[in-house]
A and B are shown apart, each in its own frame.
Chain A
C-alpha cells in the first residue's frame, strides 16, 4: 500500500506538469530543452553530492582511521584494502551496478536499451565509487559522475515517459551535465556526451545537451567546494617548431593509451580467471597491491589533481615521472580490474601529464631554445592520452582548452590529440570503453550495437521495388522517369537483368529543363558503371559500412556468384535503420 501511495504522488505530479506543457502547446524541441534544464540542474547537484561523499570518504579513511590506530606509516598499505572491504556487500548484492567503469555501461544502455537505466544504479554507483576513491583506490571520479548524470537523465526521462530518440538525448544530457560540472568544462562535457555516449553528432540532440551542460556547470560553480576542480596554468607556445615535438608526443601518447587499455583489460581477465577469492572479495586484493605501490609513491593514490599540477609545474625529476607513469597504469589496472568502482578519465590525465613531463624534459635537453618549458608538454599530453584512450579527440581538445583557458594551446593539442587517437586506432580496434564491452560480447560502433547488424543480411531488408531501365533509353525518357517520381536512382540493366550502371538524379538535375542532350545522350552514357553494391548474404554491418563511404541513399543488391551481376533489389539507409531499431526493441523486451 505504501508503494502505491508513492506512485500516486509521482503520477499526479507528472500529469500536472504534462498538463502545463500541453496547455502551452510546447514543441518537441522546447519540451526537451525544459527537461534538459531539469536534468542539468539535478546533474549539477548530483556532482556536488558525489564530490562531497568522496571528501567524507577521504576524511574517514585518511584522517579518522589513522588517528584511531596511532598514525603508523605502514597503514597506507592497508587503507585501500580496508576501503574495498566495504565494497564487498555492494558488489555481492548489486554486481552489475557496483563494479567497473560506468561509461561503457552507459554506452550499452544507450545503444541497446534505448537509454533506460535502472534508478538504483545512481545510488549504488555513487556509494561504491565514493568508497573506492575515498580509500585511495587509483581511479577517477569522472566515469562514475558520467554514469550518475546519465542515470539522472534516464530517470527524468522515465518520469516523463519519453521514449526512443528523446530518451537517448536525455541520457546524453545527464552525462554531459555530470562531466561538465565536475570538470568545470561545459564544452568538453557536451562533446564527450556526443562523441562517446551517443556516438553521433546531430542538431536535434545538440541544443538540449548544451543547455544541460551549461546549467550543470553553473550549479557546480555556484556551490562546489573551492579548489576541487582541476586548475591549470595558462599555456604558451614558444616556437612553431614545437609542433614537431608535439607530434612525437602524440604518437607516444597513443602508445601509452594502448598500453593502459591492454593492461587494464588483462588485469580484469587475470582476476576473473585466477583470483583465489570470490568476486566481491577481489577488490581487497587489488587494494593491497595499490596500497603497496602507494606506500612508496603516495601520488598514485586516489583522484587528487595535485600530482598532475605538480607534473605540469615541473616539480618532479624525470625518473619520478617515468615511475609514476608506469605505476599509475598498474595501480589503476589493479583497482578497476579487481572490481573497484571508478573511471579512467582521471588516470588518463595523470598518465598524459607524466608522459608529457618526461618527454618535455627530453625535448628541453635536445633543443633548449625551441622547447624551453616542459610543463606545456605535460599539459598537452593529458589531452592526448585521454583522447586516444576514449577515442574522442574533439572532447579531449576542448577539455584541454577549457582547463587552461588559453587559446595558444589549441594547435599543439590538436596535433597531439589527433595523432594519439590515430595511433591508438592503428594499434587496436577498440577504445578503452568499447574494449570493455567487446569482452562481454557487445560490439558498439558509432552508438550502435553491431551484433544486431551482423545477424541480419541484406536479403532480410531488401526491397524488390527497383527502377530498372535499359541502357538504350533516351535522355528525355530518363528525365521523364525522374520527374514522374521514380525515386532518385535508376539502374540500367541488360536483357538478363544484369546491373550495368546507376544514374543518380543528383548528377543530372542541372539539365532537367533543357533537352539539348536529347537524341545525343542515352541512359547508358549517364550511368556510372563503377557501382558499389551489396550481395544478398552480406551482413547489415557491412552494408552500413558501405553506406558510410558512398554518398547514396540506397544500395543495389546484386547476386554476383556466377560472375554476372544480377540485380535483385535495393536496400535503403532508412529501412536499414528502421530494422535495426525494431531488432533493438525486441531485445530490450526480451531482457526486461
Chain B
C-alpha cells in the first residue's frame, strides 16, 4: 500500500494557470480524465467546492488538500496539481499555495480515506518531499517522489485490510456503518 496507488498518472497536472482557489479546482477537474473514477465529474466538483467554501483546506506550508466524501467517487482517488506562481487559497498561514492534492472518496471508505489524508499531510510537511515535488520535470518524476511514501502509511489495522497491489473495494468499517 502506498499513496501512489491512489494517484493515476493521468491525474498529475504540473502547471495550472488559475490563481484563485475555486477557479483552480474547476481547472483541475476539467483538466484530467476521470473515467472509471468519478461518475459525474461536475457534481463531484460542486461537492468539492461546497466543502472548500465551508473552510479552507490549505493548511499552510504552501499546500492545499481539497477533499470531499462523495458518492460520485467510485473509489478513493488523488489528483495532484502544481502551480509555480502560487494560488490564493485563503490558507491558514496566508501564503500562496503551490501544491494542491484533490482527494475524493466514497463514504464507505471513510476510514481508509482519513488515513490517506493523514499520511498525505505528513508526507508533504517534510520539506524535502515538498521541494522535490516542486522540482520535478515530468509526470513520472512526480510519481517517483510520491512513491517514496510507502512505508508505515497505514495503521496496522488498515494494513491488514489493504493488499499491496489491489485497492480493495470494501474496507470493512469498524462497526458503525454496518
Interface residues of A, Cβ cutoff 8 Å to B: 472, 474, 502, 504, 506-508, 510-511, 514, 516-522, 524-526, 528-532, 549-552
Contacts and interface: CB of A to CB of B under 8 A. Distances in A.
Contacts, number: 72
B174 A507 contact: yes
A520 B177 contact: no
A526 B59 CA distance: 18
A514 B117 CA distance: 13
Contact of B175 (A510, A511, A521, A550): A550
Contact of A516 (B54, B118, B155): B118
A507 B174 CA distance: 6
A517 B121 contact: yes
A472 B118 contact: no
A530 B69 CA distance: 13
Contacts of B117: 517, 520-521
17 contacts: A506-B175, A507-B111, A510-B155, A510-B157, A511-B114, A511-B118, A516-B121, A516-B122, A517-B114, A517-B118, A520-B65, A520-B117, A528-B110, A550-B175, A550-B176, A551-B176, A552-B175
A289 B57 CA distance: 84
A525 B57 CA distance: 13
B145 to A, nearest CB: 19
Given A528-B176, A530-B107, A519 B59 contact: yes
A517 B113 CA distance: 12
Contacts of B175: 504, 506, 550-552
B166 interface: no
Nearest to B175: A551
B98 interface: no
Given A472-B54, A551-B174, 10 more contacts: A504-B174, A511-B118, A519-B92, A520-B59, A520-B117, A522-B54, A528-B177, A530-B107, A530-B177, A550-B175
A526 B176 contact: no
Nearest to B92: A519
Contacts of B65: 520
A508 B114 CA distance: 9
Contacts of B177: 528, 530
**Interface size classification for chain B:** 20 to 34
From A510, A522, A549, A550, residue with most partner B Cβ within 10 Å: A510
A522 B55 contact: yes
Nearest to B113: A525
Contacts of B114: 508, 511, 517, 521, 525-526
Given A472-B55, A520-B65, A529-B107, A507 B176 contact: yes
A550 B178 CA distance: 7
Contact of A502 (B67, B174, B176): B176
B173 interface: yes
A500 B107 CA distance: 13
A531 B55 contact: no
A551 B173 CA distance: 10
Interface of B: 54-55, 57, 59-60, 65, 67, 69, 92, 107, 110-111, 114, 117-118, 121-122, 125, 155, 157, 173-178
Contacts of A549: 178
Contacts of A519: 55, 57, 59-60, 92
A526 to B, nearest CB: 7
Nearest to A518: B59
B133 to A, nearest CB: 18
A522 B59 CA distance: 13
A516 B121 CA distance: 6
B48 to A, nearest CB: 13
A381 B107 CA distance: 48
A359 to B, nearest CB: 39
B57 A520 contact: yes
Nearest to B111: A507
A525 B115 CA distance: 12
A506 B69 CA distance: 20
Contacts of B69: 525
A491 to B, nearest CB: 11
A552 B176 contact: yes
A504 B176 contact: yes
Contacts of B110: 507, 525-526, 528
A62 to B, nearest CB: 60
A435 B61 CA distance: 69
Nearest to A527: B110
A504 B132 CA distance: 38
A521 B114 CA distance: 8
Nearest to A524: B54
A532 B121 CA distance: 32
Contacts of A529: 107
The 10 closest A-B CB pairs, nearest first, are A551-B175, A528-B176, A516-B121, A519-B59, A530-B177, A528-B177, A510-B155, A507-B174, A504-B176, A520-B59
B60 to A, nearest CB: 8
Nearest to A501: B176
A472 B54 CA distance: 8
Contacts of B178: 532, 549-551
A472 B51 CA distance: 10
A520 B173 contact: no
